[in-house]
Structure 1
Amino acid sequence: MKIALLGYGKMGKTIEKLALEKGHAIVYKSTKESSEGKFEDAEVAIEFSSPEAAVGNISKALEAEIPVVSGTTGWLKQYDEMVNLCEKRNGSFIYASNFSIGVNLFFSINKYVAELLAPWKEYNVSVEEIHHTEKKDAPSGTAITIAEGILNHSDKKEWKLDGDKPGELKISAKREDDVKGTHTVSYDSTIDTISLKHEAHSRDGFALGAIIAAEWLKDRKGVFTMKDVLKIKD
């Protein structure tokens, strides 16, 4: 598989390493400042850049009729615009706030636990995420996905960063050196606490999941999610 890397930071370099180990070729890679290779030679694009660059990168791939997998967070106000462009171009597009297989299984576990605990109002639910100090957006896209899964089975109305008002699902965002990503859901009562936690030990899980998604998407048309890739049912 011939891959274009749109964004060549830490994630892009990890994807390159694992893709080459799997026998794929990197035919193009770009950063904000420069590019290398021929974009038009790519069979699929993997996009991990910045919130400011994501829409341009995704549009570039869709306009060129190259399937695109995007893991950049912080740009989702324009998600519907990209879906419409994909449909207009009869393209192929997957966005995920997190491509880790473990995290996507965690999303489903989170929804199940939220539904299970919904009748027990004595438990107050909150979400905490910890990432490296270079991460620009807060809360993380993964934390938002977790929160949305909880809200569907809760009397809380919306998530809020550091929220403390009735009806708000509190998300706490911390930034620490060299943390790959830790997400914890806590249900607290006066009697006990129930916690769910996912802790990433390296970027390899995110990168491998993105490559698996690209392999799956290459010969398909439409807008998909990691649930489609992993055959996860609600």
Structure 2
Amino acid sequence: MKLALLGYGKMGKTIERLAKEMGHEIVYKKGSSLEEGTLTRAEAAIEFSIPEAAVTNIAHCLEKNIPVVSGTTGWLSEYDDMVQLCKKCNGSFIYASNFSIGVNLFFSINEYAAKIMAPWKEYSAGIEEIHHTQKLDAPSGTAITIAEGIIQHSEKKSWTMETPQDNEIKIEAVREGDVKGTHTVAYVSAIDTISLTHKAHTRDGFAKGAILAAQWLKNKKGVFTMKDVLGI
């Protein structure tokens, strides 16, 4: 498969390495100080850039009828605009806050846990996410997706990084070292704590999931999620 890489930081370089190992060809790559190849040769684009560039990158692909997979977080105030543009262009688009297969399984486990914990009011839910010091957004898109999964299946209405009200979920964002990504959901009562944790050991899981999504998106039209890709 011929792939374009929009964003050529740590994730872009990891995707490039793994894609080549899997037999794919990188026909275009673009970073802050790099542009090589021809975008229109691509059968799909994988977008891991920065929030300020994501919308332009996604729109450019949709307008050129190139299926695009985006894992950039921090731009979602304009997500609905990209959905509408995808429909207008009869394009193909997947956004995920996290493309790791393990994390997406974790999302489903989190939603199931929220359902069975909902009747037990003595437990309060909280989320902690830990990432490397170079991560630009806080909380992580993954943590927000986790919070939204709990909100969907409980009486909680929103999340906060401040002291939570009764209808809010507290998200704590920690930045340290070169942590690839650790997310913990904890249900705490006066008697005990129940916790679920996903810990990424390398960036390869994110990259493999993004490549899988790009392969899956080929020859499809519409807006999809990783639940569609994984059938969960």
Fold shared by both chains (TM-score > 0.5): yes
Aligned to 1:168: 168
The equivalent of 1:98 in structure 2 is 98
Whole-angstrom distance in 2 between the partners of 1:55 and 1:32: 15
Structure 1 runs, 4 residues or longer, greater than 3 Å off: none
CA distance in 2, matches of 1:175, 1:227: 28
Instruction: Give the C-alpha shift of residue 218 in structure 1.
Output: 1.2
Partner of 1:136: 136
Q: Which runs of 5+ in 1 are unaligned?
A: none
Gaps of at least 5 residues in structure 2 are: none
| Residues 1-234 of structure 1: pairs in structure 2 closer than 5 A | 1-232=1-232
Q: 1:222 corresponds to which letter in structure 2?
A: G
SS of the equivalent of 1:4 reads strand
Report the 3-state secondary structure (helix = DSSP H, G, I; strand = E; otherwise coil) of the residue aligned with 2:116.
Answer: helix
2:190 and 2:58 map into 1 onto residues whose CA distance is: 47
The answer to whether the 8 A contact 1:98-1:141 is kept is yes
The root-mean-square deviation of aligned C-alpha atoms, in Å, is 0.7
Mean Cα deviation higher: 34-43 or 7-16: 34-43
Displacement after TM superposition at 1:161 (Å): 1.4
TM-score of the superposition, structure 2-length normalised?
A: 0.99
Q: CA deviation at 1:167?
A: 1.6
Q: Does the CA contact (< 8 Å) of 1:163 and 1:169 recur in 2? A: no
Q: By how many angstroms is 1:78 displaced?
A: 0.3
Q: CA deviation at 1:168?
A: 1.4
What letter corresponds to residue 36 of structure 1 in structure 2?
E
Aligned length: 232
CA–CA distance in structure 2, aligned partners of residues 86 and 215 of structure 1: 18
Q: Encode CA deviations 1:14-73: one digit per residue, 9 max, x unaligned.
A: 000000000000000001233111111111000000011000000010011000000000
Within 2, Cα distance between the matches of 1:161 and 1:118?
A: 21
What SS does structure 1 have at the residue aligned with 2:131? strand
Distance in 2 (alpha carbons) for counterparts of 1:186 and 1:229 = 28
Q: Distance in 2 between matches of 1:206 and 1:163?
A: 31
Per the normalisation by structure 1, the TM-score is: 0.98
SS at match of 1:137: coil
